[in-house]
Structure 1
Amino acid sequence: MDKVKSYINDTIEEMRFKVSWPKFAELQKSSVLVLVGSVVFAIVVGAMDFVYDTALSWFYSQF
């Protein structure tokens, strides 16, 4: 049980004093960047899906 307490105390100490947390402004910039990247990726994947669906529908309608 002492090992568990030691592990928890060491974890708390490391999270409080050794981890470098980003400033709020930096966090906002990173969040906006991830959001924009996700939207762009979703649009690209959606466009590819639309093109493949249209092409395959046309192809199968030929038979």
Structure 2
Amino acid sequence: MNKIGLYLRESYNELVHNVTWPSFSTLQTNTILVLIGSVIFALLIMVMDFVWKNVVDLIYGAV
């Protein structure tokens, strides 16, 4: 049990004193970039799914 307490104290100390946290404006900018990238990636997958569905329908519709 003593090891768990030591681990928690050291983890807290590391997070409070040694970690460099980003500023709020940097955090907002990075969040917006991630959201935009996620939307672009989702649209790309939607287009690929649409094209693949039409190709498969064309192949199986011809048989």
TM-score range, shorter chain: over 0.9
> Partner residue of 2:38?
38
Deviation at 1:6, TM superposition (A): 1.2
| Percent identity of paired positions between Structure 1 and Structure 2 | 37
Moved over 3 A (4+): none
> Partner residue of 2:13?
13
Which amino acid in 2 is paired with 1:9?
R
TM-score by length of 2: 0.93
How many angstroms apart in 1 are the aligned matches of 2:22 and 2:11?
Answer: 19
Deviation at 1:55, TM superposition (A): 1.1
How many angstroms apart in 1 are the aligned matches of 2:60 and 2:5?
Answer: 65
How many angstroms apart in 2 are the aligned matches of 1:37 and 1:59?
Answer: 33
How many angstroms apart in 1 are the aligned matches of 2:19 and 2:7?
Answer: 16
Gaps of 5+ in 2: none
Gaps of 5+ in 1: none
> Partner residue of 2:53?
53
> How many residues were matched structurally?
63
Q: CA RMSD in A?
A: 0.8
Which amino acid in 1 is paired with 2:32?
V
